[in-house]
Every structure is written in structure tokens, then in C-alpha cells.
Amino acid sequence: MFWGHRVIGVACVLALAACAPAGTASTTSPSPSSSPSSSSEAPGRKTPEAAGPPGVKPRKGEVRPIPRTGGLPPVISSIPTERKVVFLTIDDGWEQDPGFVRQVRDQRVPITAFAMRDAVEARGTPDESGGPARYVGAGKWGYFRQLRDAGVPVENHTLTHPNLRLLAYPAQRRELCGASKLIERETGTRPTLFRPPFGNYNTDTLRAARSCGLSAVLLWTATVQPGGKIAYQVPDKKLRPGDILLLHFRPNLARDFRVLVNKIKRRGFELGDLQAYLAAARAH
Ligand SMILES: [Zn+2]
């Protein structure tokens, strides 16, 4: 099945190169950013500069419906639109470069973050594929509150990043509900989207997601490697309307992000507001 475009079925099993384990260090240098600020603001507080989420919104009738899935949350790997718009998503949360928050805030770049507890709280060892880490766990959940204040939705990516296909339903539910509860406590907003680690899920995952109040499972059509290079999951190696791109909170993210955003714009694509597009796709 050519799975990269539009919506894929719940039976699709993915083995993608996202969230790779540690052990492939490179020699790139750390980004020249200032030291992290330890944020202590209370959950739920919004700063005045948060003037609504950035990114283009769907036009009336632009987005095709996402098929209904018999009461379970839909699994979505791209947004069904013909407009040249793509969506940026960033996973885990190990590396917490304050320069990246400034970039997102100052340039009003639309992103969606999928936070994983053990990364955000720096329990364990991060993936080293982006280069030497400098800000691992620097701001903990304060970093995600800063992102939230910059207009970034903070969504669910489990507590411990397991391969969910190896877990029974109760353990899957603990991972999903536990992360939603934690994110709500730390950011003031309960997640509505779930991204399964490694893209691995099964029907129990969808049942657990529904039980934890998560309304959709978000996959992706391309990953972004260190250096801003796009690794496509489709044969023709081109950006397509509605593509969802996956990045990670890695060293040099701010620099890689600049390269990526320029590349996307050069190809004539805009950056979309994922939540607005999902709402439009599900409003049918
Ligand atoms: Zn991950």
C-alpha cells in the first residue's frame, strides 16, 4: 500500500527511523545560544504575546473529510488537502535550546510538540544523532510552558517511549493517560493528539487513546534529519500538500529549523496550523 498520502488505515504497521536509539554521535558543534532560563511560571499562565496560534488556516471547503473509524480515534499521516501547505511536528523533548523558543516566538512558526516525560525530565540518555547535547533537560517542563506561551500545542508522546505493540492494554493505557495527566498538570491544557513512539501502535493503542481523551493518532510522511535534510517516506521524494513532517528536539535544532523552513518556502509551500486543519477535516 502506498501509504504516504492522506489518511492511512489502522492496520498499517510502521518501522520508521524516528526516535532512533542512542549511539550514533556526529561531530557537529552546539548551537551558539545563550544559557537556558529556568522557567518557574505557573501552569496555565499566558503571556500577552501569545496572539493565537500561527500558521495558515484552511479555506472553506478546502480540507476533505477524514474517514470515520468506528468510534476509535483516526490514525492520520497527512492532511487531506490540495493546497501547498505542510505541518511541522517536533517530538520527545531532550534538548531544550532557549534559542529555539525565541525563534518560534519571534518568527511565529507553527509547530506542534509531542512531549515525552522521560525526555522532558531528562531521565535516561537522549538520542545523540543530532550531535553533542548542550541543553538536555535544561528547562524541564518550564521549557514546554515557554513553547506553549509561544503558541505551541503540547501533545502526548507517552511517559517512557516504549514500543506500544509489546505492551498489553493496561500498560498502554498507563503510558497514554499518565502522559496526558502530567501534561495537563504542567501546561494547563490536556492533550488531544497522540503520537506513538516509533510509529508503532495496535488496536489496544487506539482504545487506550480514546479512553484517555485523545481524539486522533498522528503519524507523519517525512522525517527531518540533522542539517535540515528531509527524508521522505514516499518514492518520489517530493513535498506533497498536507505532508506532516517529524523533527526531534535535538542539538542544533534552531539552525536545522532555519534551513528547513527556507527550503519549504522555496518550494512554494506554506506552514499550516495543524489543529485548525484537523478540526476542518473532522467537521464533515
Ligand atoms: Zn519519540
CA 195 to centroid of ligand 1, rounded, Å = 8
CA 101 to centroid of ligand 1, rounded, Å = 19
3-state secondary structure of 284: coil
CA 197 to centroid of ligand 1, rounded, Å = 5
CA 60 to centroid of ligand 1, rounded, Å = 34
Measured CA to CA, the distance from residue 137 to residue 36 in angstroms comes to: 10
Q: Which residues of the chain carry a pLDDT beneath 70?
A: 1-53
Query: Residue 100 — φ and ψ, nearest 5°?
Result: -70, -40
Nearest to 249 by CA among 109, 110, 147: 147
pLDDT of residue 9: 37
pLDDT of residue 52: 57
User: Which residues crowd ion ligand 1, with CB under 5 Å?
Assistant: 19, 91-92, 197
Question: What secondary structure letter does DSSP report for 86?
Answer: E
pLDDT of residue 236: 79
pLDDT of residue 12: 36
Measured CA to CA, the distance from residue 202 to residue 20 in angstroms comes to: 20
Identity of the amino acid at 280:
A
CA 20 to centroid of ligand 1, rounded, Å = 8
Measured CA to CA, the distance from residue 137 to residue 61 in angstroms comes to: 42
pLDDT of residue 129: 78
Read off the pLDDT of residues 13-62 as tens digits, 9 standing for 90 and up.
333 444 443 333 333 333 444 444 444 444 554 444 445 568 999 999 99
CA 116 to centroid of ligand 1, rounded, Å = 7
- Give me the helix-helix angle, 140-149 and 169-187, nearest 10°: 70
Measured CA to CA, the distance from residue 187 to residue 147 in angstroms comes to: 10
pLDDT of residue 38: 42
